[in-house]
A and B are shown apart, each in its own frame.
Chain A
Amino acid sequence: MLLELNHIKKRYGGVAALSDGCLTVEAGEVHLLLGENGAGKSTLMKIIAGIVERDRGQMLWQGREVQLKTPAEAAAIGISMVHQESLLAPHLTVAENLYLGREERLPFGWVRRQRMMEAANRLISEHQFPLRAEWRVEKLTPAGKQLVEICRAILHGSSLVIFDEPTSSLSGSEAAEVFRIVKTLRERKVGVIYITHRLDELQSVGDRVTIFRDGRTVHTSPLAELTTSRIIQHMVGRELSAIYHRDSLPPGDELLRVEHLNQEGQLRDISFSLRAGEIVGIAGLIGAGRTELCRALFGVDPIDSGRVWVRGREMRIHSPQEAVAAGIALVTEDRQVTGLALRLPIAHNITLANVRGISRFGFLDRTAQNTAAADFIGRLHIRAGSTRQLCGRLSGGNQQKVVIAKWLFRQAQVFLFDEPTRGIDVGAKAEVFNVMDELAKSGAAILMVSSEMQELLQVADRILVMRDGKITGELPGRTTQEAIMRYAALETAAEEIR
């Protein structure tokens, strides 16, 4: 047994993050770790990787009890972690990042740059990674950064590698690359712990599964013995009332019309329209221009040509301020960066886009603010202690609901959702879809970008597929993943990730 964890407990202040974590990993197995956000997976991984210390319980590494105090100690015995959010130094080269903290040293702190580059390039070509040692990390795509982290783990001869949601920011072909690497690691008898939210990718990688719920291990078994619906049951602890499916509504007035939108190097001749009550999906691989389209419509990035009508009126939108005034809302893919003020209370965040709605002559009406916030907390089932709780302390799903509440309170009519379910758990996803459905019913028009085709197939009335900044196809809501892929991936080569 490579790693054995028994009854691990960990509390942060008064909150139990982990009450009974158990996990065993053997050399040469890929062990999947599943669970909703806040189920305790990440805490357990942090304990294994030496980022936090456990309060109680036993951790055996190759049969011997260990107590890791720092990530460096974990690395020294052969445990490394590929983080979800890249922890690389962006201004340094790939090679410098690979050897960060472990440079071959000469006296007086000199570094053997040339030899480091050569060694890094040897490693890269040996694994056929689409990288070069001398590239600067900031120029890499998220997938490229992930590869650098993986290289680092391999380079340091780790015997256990932890992947924390490695594919959440990757496109299909990039994810396939990660799976290939995971398989290589398995062949080399490395133990792999693989955390994921994407149930559709399990079959591609896993040997065994451990499922977490509410801070404890609730299930461990070989993957082959489980069906997807059993897995979901274990994760949520209840029967999901069937997988969500939306019925289309008769479309109403045209709320958004876009004609021949162009943006140098990003968007080419985009035309489409959105009607009240409609949810239109945008599919495509990473880099197809989907996020760029949202940003252009919302006035974040300028467009070069093209015309936009909102609610029948032609508009030139130059800034988010103008977009918001026109009734457009953007739920961004990185809610912590562009969606929420994490250090401010929920009530402030919900009213952020419509402070005028809670003020008179420039003065705030706190009663109105708190009533509005409490109302949305109830309506969207935001699980929070009070309207004054800081947004940074909510789970991903609840944060997303606060972002949505912000736009509901602004009474926006055209909603752009960019990857609305990224990093949120199964239960919260269903709730987000419910909110979108209600929005559509109340007469809003919704554009939804998603990399998870299954989601689009469930929710969208129509699906637009993008590739290389163009709309390459329009499909009805009840289509197939194969049809989407045909439009999205045709001619797309995976070699270039720079």
Chain B
Amino acid sequence: MSQPAVAQVPAVPAKSRRDRIVLQRLLPFVSLIILFIALAIASPHFLTATNLSSVVRQTAVINIMALGMTMIIITGGIDLSVGAILAISGLIGAMAMEKGFSIPVGVLVGVVTGLACGLANGLMITRLRIQPFIVTLGTLGIFRGTALIISNGLPVHRIPPQFSYLGEGNLLGVPFVLWILVACAVFTHIVLENTRLGRYTFAIGSNREAAIYAGIPVLFHTTAVYAIGGMLTGLAGMIEASRLMTGQPTAGQGYELQAIAAVVIGGGSLQGGEGSVIGTLIGAFIMGLLSNGSDLLGVSPYLQQAIIGAVIILAVTLDEVRKRRTAAA
């Protein structure tokens, strides 16, 4: 403090402290590895190709939704309607194929439907200036209701059989959905970390007022984030439809909470400004492994729910402790 003329700017903080912080950051990842090893030891069926690819397939849908949710949560928002978006996208995509459109066009229709729903959420949130929680609570009902109306409540079955490849096929020995998931994760990661949109996403979530005062087009970028979230959910909807081989107006109920849980376990903060793609992936896989492991070990599905709930609270508690400690250091 005593010599303002000399600015001391070391390039990086002290090494040991940085290592400790990195180690604490890695905690979710380490937990995932430990969980993986523990399950491998506890159940002979765990480390089989069939089981592992089934974990991947089960997790992929939630995971892809959670990627979009990550961006939304970083802005300080939330999207409760993703389960409904998943259903309406899968349904409309399936209907397009039933009407004779090709599979790629059907998938595109589903993705665009998701995009449109996300855009609608974003526009209502930014133009009507209503809290995201309220808007998406409303659209949850609207999207789900619309899906039920246009389908008369009945699933769409007449889908080309090759469509199952999207959710159930393999490419180069691994489930095709894994490739899609990786592509989506890389896309979201690059958007968040390396683009202007990503920078604005963090800025808006960290301090919306400051972002406005810095001249950032906050409304536009907030809307864009919800639209991207909707788009990813639309894709997830098509994968879900492919796995079920039906367009289900009732699909994806409660998925929104799983997606939110994945983000939160991965270090996302509902206050905004924090979250990462890697974290969310780990969060989703921790939940996926827990439910798969419970199945393999014969744990009752009732208990399973309670375990996952407890893990959410535990993960966030540990993360809070870490943040408080680094804040004090």
Contacts and interface: CB of A to CB of B under 8 A. Distances in A.
A252 interface: no
B328 A13 contact: yes
B310 interface: no
A456 to B, nearest CB: 23
Contacts of B194: 363-364
Contacts of B209: 337-338
A101 interface: no
Interface stretch (B2-10, B101-109, B118-126): B2-10
Contacts of A356: 196
A233 to B, nearest CB: 12
Interface in B186-235: 194-200, 202-203, 206-207, 209-217
A327 to B, nearest CB: 11
A389 B13 CA distance: 9
Nearest to A38: B1
B203 A348 contact: yes
B244 to A, nearest CB: 37
Contacts of A381: 4-7
A355 B10 CA distance: 24
A354 to B, nearest CB: 9
B11 interface: yes
Interface string B163-186: 000000000000000000000000
A353 interface: yes
Contacts of B212: 320-321, 338
B327 to A, nearest CB: 8
Interface in A56-111: none
A15 B9 CA distance: 18
Contact of B206 (A12, A300, A320, A344): A344
A488 interface: no
A342 B13 contact: no
Interface in A356-393: 356, 359, 362-364, 374, 377-378, 381-389, 392-393
Contacts of A377: 7, 9
Given A237-B2, A356-B196, A338 B210 contact: yes
Contact of B214 (A36, A364, A389, A406): A406
Contacts of B215: 320-321, 323-325, 353, 410
Interface centre among B9, B12, B198, B203 (most CB of A within 10 A): B9
B328 A321 contact: no
A339 interface: yes
A364 B7 contact: no
Interface in B7-36: 7-13, 17
Contacts of A325: 215
Contact of B216 (A321, A338, A378): A321
A385 B10 contact: yes
B319 interface: no
A298 B213 CA distance: 9
A430 B209 CA distance: 28
Interface residues of A, number: 56
Nearest to A300: B213
Given A341-B273, A343-B274, A362-B195, A214 B214 contact: no
A323 B4 CA distance: 33
Contacts of B196: 355-356, 359, 362-364
Contacts of A339: 210, 213
A130 interface: no
Contacts of B203: 341, 344, 348, 352
B7 A352 contact: no
Given A352-B216, A385-B10, A342 B207 contact: yes
A399 B6 CA distance: 17
B325 interface: yes
Contacts of A427: 1, 4
A378 B7 contact: yes
A238 interface: yes
Contacts of B325: 13
Nearest to B206: A341
Contacts of A342: 206-207
Given A337-B209, A344-B273, A352 B4 contact: no
Contacts of B197: 362
A409 to B, nearest CB: 11
A301 interface: no
A330 interface: yes
Given A38-B1, A339-B210, A348 B7 contact: no
Contacts of B8: 383
A144 B324 CA distance: 34
Interface centre among B11, B199, B328, B329 (most CB of A within 10 A): B199
Interface string A192-234: 0000000000000000000000100000000000000000000
Contacts of A320: 212-215
Contacts of B217: 321
A457 to B, nearest CB: 23
Contacts of B329: 13-15
Contacts of A385: 10, 13
A386 B200 contact: no
A353 B211 CA distance: 8
Interface in B309-329: 325, 327-329
Nearest to B273: A343
B210 A341 contact: yes
A177 interface: no
16 contacts: A14-B329, A320-B213, A338-B207, A338-B212, A341-B203, A343-B273, A343-B274, A352-B203, A352-B214, A353-B215, A356-B196, A359-B196, A362-B195, A363-B194, A364-B199, A389-B13
Interface of A: 12-15, 36, 38, 214, 236-238, 298, 300, 320-321, 323-325, 330, 332, 337-344, 348, 352-353, 355-356, 359, 362-364, 374, 377-378, 381-389, 392-393, 406, 410, 427-428, 430-431
Top-10 shortest CB links A-B: A324-B215, A341-B206, A13-B329, A13-B328, A353-B214, A341-B207, A352-B214, A338-B209, A338-B213, A321-B215
Given A355-B196, A364-B195, 18 more contacts: A15-B329, A36-B1, A38-B1, A214-B2, A320-B215, A323-B215, A324-B215, A340-B207, A340-B210, A341-B210, A344-B273, A353-B216, A355-B199, A356-B196, A359-B196, A377-B7, A386-B10, A392-B327
